[in-house]
């Protein structure tokens, strides 16, 4: 699931297996006799929900922080660093053009 919000929904006798979610939340839902196996649907994603006879087994391990929001920042950072990396070459090229000149460099 990616950026899904379930509101005022009923889940009865469902089986969620190997689910990865990003910015997915359950609000005011009733979840009855449902199994969550190997998912990253953690407690903070269920807001004002009633969990009745539901089980969570083998939760996904590792970092539980959602980095999807920081993705745009990383794209701009990589672009900025790529532009910054060509700056020394541009400075040296400009100095050489100033000292030697275009015609002498080509000929």
Q: According to the model, what pLDDT value does residue 15 have?
A: 94
Token pair, residue 40, equals 């990253």
d(CA 85, CA 79): 10
- CATH code of 5-57, in short, is 2.160.20.80
Query: How do the domains of the chain map onto residue ranges?
Result: 5-57, 68-106
Interval 69-95: pLDDT, tens: 557 778 888 899 999 999 999 999 888
In contact, 34 and 12? CB cutoff 8 Å: yes
25 CA to centre of own chain: 15
Pairing relationship of beta strands 5-7 and 15-17 according to DSSP bridges: unpaired
């Amino acid at each position: 699931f990616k950026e899904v919000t379930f509101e005022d929904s009923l889940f009865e006798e469902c089986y969620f297996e190997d689910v990865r979610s990003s910015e997915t939340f359950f609000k005011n839902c009733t979840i009855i006799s449902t199994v969550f196996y190997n998912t990253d649907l953690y407690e903070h994603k269920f807001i004002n929900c009633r969990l009745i006879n539901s089980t969570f087994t083998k939760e996904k391990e590792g970092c539980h922080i959602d980095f999807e929001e920081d993705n745009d920042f990383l794209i701009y950072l990589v672009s900025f660093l790529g532009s910054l990396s060509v700056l020394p070459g541009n400075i040296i090229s400009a100095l050489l053009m100033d000292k030697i000149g275009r015609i002498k460099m080509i000929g």
